[in-house]
Chains A and B, each alone.
Chain A
Amino acid sequence: MEGFLPHPWWEVWYALSLPVVAYGIYRMNRLVKERRETLPLLALAGAFIFVLSSLKLPSVTGSCSHPTGTGMGAILFGPALTAVLSLIVLVYQALFLAHGGITTLGANVFSMGIAGPAVGYLVYRGCTRLNLHFYLSIFLAATLADWATYLVTTLQLALAFPSATGGVVGSFYAFGTVFALTQVPLALVEGVVTALIFKYIIQVKGDVMVKLKVIDEKGLGKLREAIPA
């Protein structure tokens, strides 16, 4: 949607996203230096975003949208690092695919890289505290991260284009039927697929997840027992 976010909104979202991305780059550098063993998982989280955000899927509303794939990164590494991973994908799509855009990059990084992952991260932490089943927590976190991304996109557009009659709320509904509704089935599928991938991560790299404090030793042991070798 290149050029579709007017002044001053495109600057506002750039200003909000930049510090988070800068902090994410700082954190990523430190993580890779201090805990080299997390690097493959970081690559996996980035690759997952690459695949999922390239899949334009048809939805019940008769239009197509794509999942975000950011839930995994958010659960493993938190929102700041996920913002950096999302930035890579968004720049690729903006530069070569005319999808997204350079002027809307700030807004897109904010919705897909920061707000969505922040929701996913908080939901996952909340679920763990409530002692919900591990895979259910992953499902909820990834689904809501995806959905929150599009809710924020809806809000961003509503703020920039308030309706003459209904104001921001009126346009929020108008854009909501386009984004938030279309995204519901996609978000659910993304949640299920992310949960399944986590089963495989538990199998091969569960120890690194303990180091990243995603799960504890005891929880990992239990999950591993549940997977037949």
Chain B
Amino acid sequence: MKGEIIAGLAIILFFALFLYVAASNTGADWGGADGEAEGVIAELTEGTYEPWFEPLIEPPSGEIESLLFSLQAALGAIVIGYFFGYYRGKQSA
């Protein structure tokens, strides 16, 4: 149980930290770090840099983007769950 408790505490602490920053803030917009890096590039090049290639397919909306991200997580989670379920079941059989 020790491992589960440590992991649980770490995750709770992580979100507590997030809530603390969110509550005490400063107008953070919780955007992606990628987007912020693009901002830094604009600053460093004084706005002269133009991306020379566009994404081939862009998710038409934020909803569809989160759908695709969830799909990615779900696929991974199915495999992980199958792996542990299968071998645990085999062990106790």
- The reply to whether B56 and A92 form a contact with Cβ atoms under 8 Å apart is no
Chain B 77-93, CB-CB to A under 8 Å as 1, else 0, gives 11110011011100100
- The reply to whether B6 and A192 form a contact with Cβ atoms under 8 Å apart is yes
Chain B 49-69, CB-CB to A under 8 Å as 1, else 0, gives 101111111110000010011
- The reply to whether B32 and A193 form a contact with Cβ atoms under 8 Å apart is no
Which residue of chain B has the shortest Cβ distance to A4 in the bound complex?
Answer: B51
Nearest CB of chain B from residue A59's CB, rounded to whole Å: 7
Interface status of A44 (Cβ within 8 A of chain B):
yes
Which residue of chain A has the shortest Cβ distance to B80 in the bound complex?
Answer: A47
- The reply to whether A65 and B33 form a contact with Cβ atoms under 8 Å apart is yes
Roughly how many angstroms separate A183 CA and B33 CA in the complex, as a whole number? 9
Roughly how many angstroms separate A185 CA and B17 CA in the complex, as a whole number? 9
User: How many chain B residues touch A (Cβ–Cβ < 8 Å)?
Assistant: 57
Interface status of A169 (Cβ within 8 A of chain B):
no
- The reply to whether B28 and A161 form a contact with Cβ atoms under 8 Å apart is no
Choose one: A4, A43, A48; the contact of B41 (CB below 8 Å).
A4
Q: Which residues from 92 to 131 on chain A have a C-beta closer than 8 Å to any C-beta of chain B?
A: 92-99, 101-103
Interface status of A19 (Cβ within 8 A of chain B):
no
User: How many chain A residues touch B (Cβ–Cβ < 8 Å)?
Assistant: 64
Interface status of A179 (Cβ within 8 A of chain B):
yes
- The reply to whether A60 and B17 form a contact with Cβ atoms under 8 Å apart is yes
Roughly how many angstroms separate A50 CA and B73 CA in the complex, as a whole number? 6
**In the complex, how many residue pairs between chain A and chain B have their CB atoms under 8 Å apart?**
169
- The reply to whether B56 and A3 form a contact with Cβ atoms under 8 Å apart is no
Choose one: B34, B37, B38, B41; the contact of A99 (CB below 8 Å).
B34
- The reply to whether A97 and B53 form a contact with Cβ atoms under 8 Å apart is no
Roughly how many angstroms separate A175 CA and B59 CA in the complex, as a whole number? 26
Roughly how many angstroms separate A171 CA and B41 CA in the complex, as a whole number? 9
Please name all residues of chain B whose beta carbon is closer than 8 Å to the beta carbon of A94 when the two chains form the complex: 55
Which residue of chain A has the shortest Cβ distance to B86 in the bound complex?
Answer: A40
- The reply to whether A54 and B40 form a contact with Cβ atoms under 8 Å apart is no
Choose one: B22, B53, B56; the contact of A95 (CB below 8 Å).
B56
Q: Which residues from 151 to 188 on chain A have a C-beta closer than 8 Å to any C-beta of chain B?
A: 157, 161, 163-164, 171, 174-175, 178-179, 182-183, 185, 188
8 smallest beta-carbon distances between A and B, as pairs: A62-B28, A50-B76, A3-B51, A3-B53, A47-B79, A51-B76, A98-B55, A204-B87
Name A residues whose Cβ lies closer than 8 Å to a Cβ of B: 1-4, 6, 40, 43-44, 46-65, 89, 92-99, 101-103, 135, 157, 161, 163-164, 171, 174-175, 178-179, 182-183, 185, 188-189, 192-193, 195-196, 199-200, 203-205
